[in-house]
Chain A
């Protein structure tokens, strides 16, 4: 039973444009969410997080939006850069218990 889903396995965006990565979850007890970025043969790198008491968190070019009623999470990257090309995972947890990861979305930012 996959509690966190990323339905788009890949996304291609032109440099300078906005990248929007989506994530859906099923467990209403989830109260903390993370986005990670992963390059090949490396461990995930933390990008940005959001707790359920907020609906938006911004850090530089990265903004995460949380829609609790829809159980939907999105990561916006603007402007997108070629160095942003990687696989992005969303993850969710309930009260900092174990994290459940989505299957990832491969972002390709074209120069």
Chain B
């Protein structure tokens, strides 16, 4: 079945530094990747949608200069949290789709803690 690998699973960084999270589709070509963030006691909130080879589309309220998304190949998308602050601490999850009725496959998530 379709597998999406997300790394790292946990990361702790100092305030002001940048963190990169990778999302890889292992056995299919992901034409579209989605990045979500889970706030405490709330559902997953869509941050941005990226299509391979084009700029990501960000949801309202999401700072594109702070959350850099790169979808340079059909199997890899990265989310970079730049100049991280404690309020960026959260659970980030990617999902990927090969299009059509393939369905969506989620990564295992990354718990980011900014200290």
- Residues of A bordering B, CB below 8 Å: 4, 34, 36, 41-46, 49, 51, 89, 96, 98-104
Tell me the complex Cα distance, A45–B108, Å: 8
Chain B's interface: helix, strand, loop or mixed, by majority?
Answer: strand
Contact A46 B108 (CB under 8 A): no
- Contact count band on B: 20 to 34
A68 to B14, CA, bound (A): 48
B interface list, Cβ under 8 A from A: 6, 34, 41-44, 46, 49, 93, 95, 97, 99-101, 103-109, 111
A110 to B95, CA, bound (A): 32
13 additional contacts (CB under 8 A) given A36-B106, A41-B111, A45-B106: A41-B109, A42-B108, A43-B106, A43-B107, A44-B93, A44-B106, A96-B97, A96-B99, A96-B100, A98-B46, A100-B46, A101-B44, A102-B43
